[in-house]
Amino acid sequence: MTLLQSLKNFVRSKSIHVAYVDVGSCNGCDVEVLACLAPRYDIEQYGIFVHNNPREADVLLVIGAYTPGWEGKLEGLWEKIPDPKVAVAIGNCPISGCLFNRPHTLVDPPVSKHIPIAAQVPGCPPRPTEILSAILSVAPLVYRDYEVRK
Amino acid sequence: MKRTVDVSIPVGPVHPCWKEPTRVKCETRGEFVLSAEVELGYMKKGIERIMQGRPWQEVMFLAERVCGICSVIHNMVFIEALEKMSSIEVPERAALLRVIVNELDRMQSHILANFSYCYTIEHETLGMYLLDSREKVLDELERITGARITCAYMVPGGVRFDLRSEDALHLRASMDMLEKEITRYTGMFEHGPLIALRSRGIGILTRDAAREACAVGPTARASGLPESDRRLHHPTYRKLGFTPISREEGDNFARIMMRFQEMLQSISLIRKCLDILPVGPIRGGGIPGAGEIAYSGEAPRGELSYFIRTDAAGRVIDIAIQTPSIMNIEACCHYMLTGVASMADVPSTFVSSDPCIACTER
């Protein structure tokens, strides 16, 4: 790897844009993602900017257990995110459906059936610190050697 | 009647200002909003269908996950409905502890709603101050119940954990600190000239319109309907001498100020509870049996009703939940948003009514 490439990798891993999308959860994980913005956890000190615009995002946080209302739309949203990109599943819902995955339910988990998921943060809901460390652990992978891989 | 509509602008479902997906379609002429329509259906999970035929011990946790922001009140209304149905007595200490936890939950929900509004009108400083205070409230909630969001603190006949004396001291100290902070932020919001430009006189919901649209909660109370508060009918709140607050303006500013005032009211309610908290048991006996009941409580967003029918083994045969947000979303789309002068005010007006899509669609 050239020096220029490693410099690029380092610099780019320090500027990550995050979008989150709720595909049918109880809202608990949404508020924990919002709590990451609080001065106590301060997600922006790590160079992560949450602004919820899929067209500029690098990391997509997927929350919830894939309801029928998102049929085809989540895939469309995933298409709109420019490469390179990763998706992180927040909470039990996108992983297993948690306690919504019972007889007579309308949800269709896991979300990994519909879009590729790079990391999973289990918990109902996970703590903000866990969400933060998950984003930080995938952040260097998003851009690493992107030109080479392409 | 034929109308001249320039363009129909959709806002959402994924929008920078919104926590949850929903779509508002605005018919506009220039910047002026002629009418608005909400499109729901992104979060329908069918919780009521899952609940049917399950024992109450399971439905209790499902009820809590109808809404993650106001999970405590869903737990409380469900459990109190079961208690009333099967005439289970609650010890006084447990009843007061329930009020403490419920008011803490109301505070964190109101702070989050006000944060969303400040974030939407791009007053990020105040928003971050508020989020910092919210963490302090969540700390207290975690210290008492053991969890930040979904606590499952209440069980039929009482509560799970007792409040230790050192925790009570800590809670009092936190309340003093929070009172100071929230009074300061209320002053910042009240006297901010730029905030007033974005909030005063925008999205007006008059008293008659609020009554017509069946608005509930802080949205209704900001339009001068204090009697909409269900806490007036709750025995423990009555004993505490609870009187609801109301404002007359009915605009975005009034709705946010209403929540600030209710936070201060919650602090004084918690203090009152701590003052009269007796020593005693926190759990009585009793198991829910067969019966049928409709029961309501006051969620942070307004009146929350449960209709439950159970069989002799305590299984839920039939359940219907009515959540407050749907009424406020109706009021918002049909009354507040029509006549909003600028598209930029549409997200802030929608957020000011504090819509919770997860519990609206369930």
pLDDT above 70 covers a percentage of chain B that reads 99
Question: What are the E-state strand segments in chain B?
Answer: 7-11, 23-29, 32-39, 154-155, 158-159, 291-299, 302-310, 316-322
Ranges A125-139, B60-74, B82-96, B338-352: which has the least confidence: B338-352
Binary contact (A37, B131; C-beta < 8 A): yes
Close Cβ partners of B168 (under 8 Å, ≥ 6 residues apart): B274, B277
Q: Is B1 inside a domain boundary?
A: no
Closest chain B residue by Cα to residue A102: B50
Q: Is B325 inside a domain boundary?
A: yes
Binary contact (A106, B45; C-beta < 8 A): yes
Q: What is the CATH number of the domain that holds B121?
A: 1.10.645.10
Closest chain A residue by Cα to residue B62: A99
Mean pLDDT, chain A, rounded, equals 85
Q: Report helix, strand or coil for A101.
A: coil
Quote the ipTM score: 0.86
**Which residues of B fall within a CB distance of 8 Å from A73?**
13
Q: B117 lies in which domain range?
A: 7-361
**Which residues of B fall within a CB distance of 8 Å from A29?**
68
This prediction has a pTM of 0.90
**Which residues of B fall within a CB distance of 8 Å from A103?**
50
Q: What is the pLDDT of residue B2?
A: 61
Which residue of A21, A22, A61, A90 to mutate against B (max B Cβ within 10 Å)?
Answer: A22
Under 8 Å between Cβ of B209 and B219:
no
Mean pLDDT, chain B, rounded, equals 87
* Measured distance CA(B75)–CA(B156) in Å, rounded: 10
How many domains, chain B?
1
pLDDT tens digits, A35-91: 888 888 888 888 888 878 888 888 889 998 888 888 888 888 888 888 888 899 998
Alpha helices by DSSP H, B304-352 = 325-331, 345-352
A15-145 in CATH: which number?
3.40.50.12280
Q: Is B145 inside a domain boundary?
A: yes
For chain A, how far is it from start to end, CA to CA, in angstroms? 15
Under 8 Å between Cβ of B82 and B308:
yes
**Which residues of A fall within a CB distance of 8 Å from B132?**
38-40
At residue B3 the predicted structure's pLDDT band, cuts being 50, 70 and 90, is low
Binary contact (A100, B358; C-beta < 8 A): no
Closest-CA distance of chain B to residue A117, Å: 19
